[in-house]
Chains A and B, each alone.
Chain A
Amino acid sequence: MAEDITGAASINDGVGLKEQDRLLPIANVGRIMKQIVPPNAKISKEAKETMQECVSEFISFVTSEASQKCRKERRKTVNGDDICWALATLGLDDYEVPLKRYLHKFREVEGERAANQMRANGGDSSKEKEDEQYPFKFSFIGSTSNDSNFRPFD
């Protein structure tokens, strides 16, 4: 059965976004779901659609919480730390620690990359381009591991 990738005719949910803008692409969502189930398992299209809706709700829910925190602290910009904080506040503290580490490494890598780009301006452009597309070449370690396994550039 062919999949309707773009989704059915839009359901106006009152927020003002077309369905394809309101949801993450079903192909991407489906791919992540497939990583969890056994290879011979099937996932119904409706299940993927339900998951799409759940993820968008998840994003809205967490962002709302993060943005309220920013407003209270009179900050205009929601940043990664706010997201991590919101996740913990909403009970998703299992996510908070791995994500904080992810964010920390991202900032480190980004900082290094920016510094390297400045230093190596006009240097090896192909590597630079690769780094730009894939800034993360490291293993993401869960909260129980120690950093001795950390290899920033695999």
Chain B
Amino acid sequence: MRQAGSYSGILISGKTGPHLLPLARIKKIMKKSGDGVKMISGESPIVFSKACEMFIKELTQRSWMVTMQGKRRTLNKEDVASAVMATDLFDFLLNLVSEMDTSKSS
């Protein structure tokens, strides 16, 4: 069951600035998504900056649960990979994490 707790009720205050992630970079990544992504509205990177934040938080939370199960205090990349594999929603990342695994293998 998916938990919504980490990202509901996000407070955006004028003091810290609205975006935690650089909009121009997000836009670049969007443009390179292929399939002829031509034009992107000004608000799209802004929506994505929030979506990415939510995504990072969710994946981190799930990864941290794996870390805790291993009774460790350092979140490592295998924890992230485990979290991806354990979450159906993150199936689109399976290739990515398994690729990274094989490149690391000694």
Contacts and interface: CB of A to CB of B under 8 A. Distances in A.
A15 interface: yes
A102 B100 contact: no
Nearest to B81: A50
B55 A99 contact: no
Nearest to A17: B32
Nearest to B79: A47
A54 B74 contact: no
Interface residues of B, number: 67
Interface string B71-92: 0011111011100100011101
Given A68-B35, A136-B14, A84 B76 contact: no
A21 interface: yes
Contact of B36 (A21, A67, A103): A67
Interface residues of A, number: 77
A98 B54 contact: yes
A139 B90 CA distance: 28
A44 B20 contact: no
A55 B9 contact: no
A56 interface: yes
A57 to B, nearest CB: 5
A80 interface: yes
A22 to B, nearest CB: 7
Interface in B44-68: 44, 46-48, 50-57, 59-61, 63-64, 67
B72 to A, nearest CB: 9
16 contacts: A24-B29, A32-B53, A40-B73, A50-B100, A53-B100, A54-B93, A60-B33, A77-B41, A78-B44, A79-B44, A80-B43, A82-B44, A98-B8, A98-B50, A140-B11, A141-B9
